[in-house]
Chain A
Amino acid sequence: MLYHEFLLQDFLNDDAFVRWVLFDEQDRYWQQVLADYPAKQEVIQQAIQLIQQLQQAEALRTLPVDEEKTWKRIRSTTIDADPLVGWPRKRRWTGVAVLCSLALFIVVWTWVEHFPSKTVYAKLVTKAAEKNALIEKVNRSDTPLKITLEDGSIVYLKKNSRFSYPTHFTTQSRETFLSGEAFFQIAPNPKKPFYVYANELVTQVLGTSFDITAFDDDQQVQVKVRTGRVSVYNQKPIRFASDERQNLVLLPNQQVIFNRHTESLSKQLVAEPMPVQPLAASEKHYFEEVPAATVLKTLERRYGVHILYDEELLSNCIITTTLSNQPLKDQLEVICQTIGATFKEMDAQLVVEATGCP
């Protein structure tokens, strides 16, 4: 390094020089520089003095933080917190304990807060039992419990669920009560509607098959229709006469979800719509060079799901395809790809968004 041209500023900007003044690093080198550049001795002395003054001033400009007190605080959270088995383990256990008590607290709180509104089943059963003797079935096993009712309807009661029904139905209606999950196959009888009270939802049918999921502690109540028509509504406050205000009619492959928190009903398609009836031998399932709309109409019929599309836009879209027993959405996906369209679900219907074909 050549120091002939160095001014005070340059020495202040020289990292090695500063570290020499502060920490005596490379002392021999800088002693040599002092010896080699006698003309620079004065400016070097000034630089040293300035740096030392700044260092001293800086050393004094410090907040009053107590070394011992801080050390005690650090010890208490480090060394002293180390049990013989090792600090992380202890930490983990306290963490687990905190989590457990938190979880317990939440459980108790939810219990206290929501239990009255959620044991709708217990209340309903108590109330209904005053009028009519009820039979209660409980299934704790993994295999569904088959229950055959007086009218020939069959209920498959799933795990951890209870179902109550009268020994004899009244002359006007068939009222039953569910807590948990069950699949229903209802014997048709237009004169005696069949009701399932499950939490806040009432499902009313004439003759059909459907699933209900309504556990006491679930946030949702779900009704899925396999065949027939089902109407679902919110029963609130508890009463047995049908309240049709919040009433939804469900068709096959549709489901309704009742959010117990917001008390809202929403209708959607089931996750995997199934053909309403198995593919009949007579029904056409191979399509060659036909308008896309023709295939969509066939799908609509087979799955009982409404498919919306712009007929004019699709008028030029000619496709060749084979329908199978694959899930509806998979088949629709294939068709949409062929005609450069997309589809989405909206209000339990499928909407095909196309740009048209050339």
Chain B
Amino acid sequence: MPAPDSFKSYNETVLWESLAQGDQQAFEILYRHYFKILVNYGSRLTPDPLLLEDAIQDLFTYLWRRKVQLAAVAEPKFYLLTALRNQLKRNARNSIFDEAEDIDEFLDCLVHLSDEQTTVEQETVFDRSRQIQGAIARLSPRQQEAVNLRFFHGMNLDQSSELMGVSKQVVSNLLFKAYSMLRIILKGVFSLLTLILSPLYP
């Protein structure tokens, strides 16, 4: 098994080229590097760990079969995220893929959140990251995906829109809604967040 940090000691282009030659170690290094990234993104696409595990296995099996063509892939991370999304879509028919963002649902959700605010404000124990996690979990699946792609995987607007199969405007809207909801959910929990999130779209 390669050392945990071995990915960093290689030039990624070289790793993909070695894989194209059938290098088993390069294959494993790439797997180890991308595993957590793929699991993380996949977790926004399906609630089922087994489905995700299957999709990742299918994806890497496919990579090994098509390894010869892979050296030419320009942006491996974007490529892999796209491939994972497609794989999950093929494997499962019931996840977030068909869900459209519904503005009424979104507004209902905002009203609902405001009502809950009182209880949140009374809480005295603050576990920052857990609060944020909980807040993100309250977002719609597609808002979560947009947040995840942008603030965990660092995908730009073009990549996110291509990955999610929607226009850039839709991704922007999803992010804007996500910010708005986070502001409400986290209001009173973190004064700092309240402060900094309030001047959004002045």
Contact = CB atoms under 8 A, between A and B. Distances in A.
Contacts of A55: 151-152
A238 interface: no
A63 B39 contact: yes
B185 to A, nearest CB: 12
A12 interface: yes
B13 interface: no
Interface stretch (B26-34, B93-101, B108-116): B26-34
Q: What interface size band does chain B fall in?
A: 35 or more
A22 B154 contact: yes
A57 interface: yes
A319 to B, nearest CB: 60
Given A12-B179, A74-B31, A54 B196 contact: no
Interface residues of A, number: 40
A338 to B, nearest CB: 55
Nearest to B35: A67
A63 B128 CA distance: 20
Contacts, number: 119
B200 interface: yes
Contact of B43 (A63, A69, A70, A71): A63
A84 interface: no
A73 B48 CA distance: 18
A54 B39 CA distance: 17
A61 B43 contact: yes
Given A71-B28, A77-B61, A59 B150 contact: no
B152 A59 contact: yes
Given A18-B154, A63-B39, A9 B129 contact: no
Interface stretch (A42-50, A209-217, A339-347): A42-50
Contacts of A66: 53
Interface in B153-202: 154, 156-157, 172, 175, 179, 192-193, 195-197, 199-202
A8 B60 CA distance: 39
Interface in B111-144: 128-129, 132-133, 136-137
A19 B27 CA distance: 26
B60 A78 contact: yes
A288 interface: no
A43 B199 CA distance: 11
B57 A73 contact: yes
Given A9-B179, A79-B27, A46 B39 contact: no
B43 A79 contact: no
B161 to A, nearest CB: 12
Interface of B: 24, 27-28, 31-32, 35-36, 39-40, 42-43, 46-49, 52-53, 56-57, 60-61, 64-65, 128-129, 132-133, 136-137, 147-148, 150-152, 154, 156-157, 172, 175, 179, 192-193, 195-197, 199-202
Given A13-B172, A79-B27, 5 more contacts: A9-B199, A53-B132, A63-B52, A70-B56, A74-B31
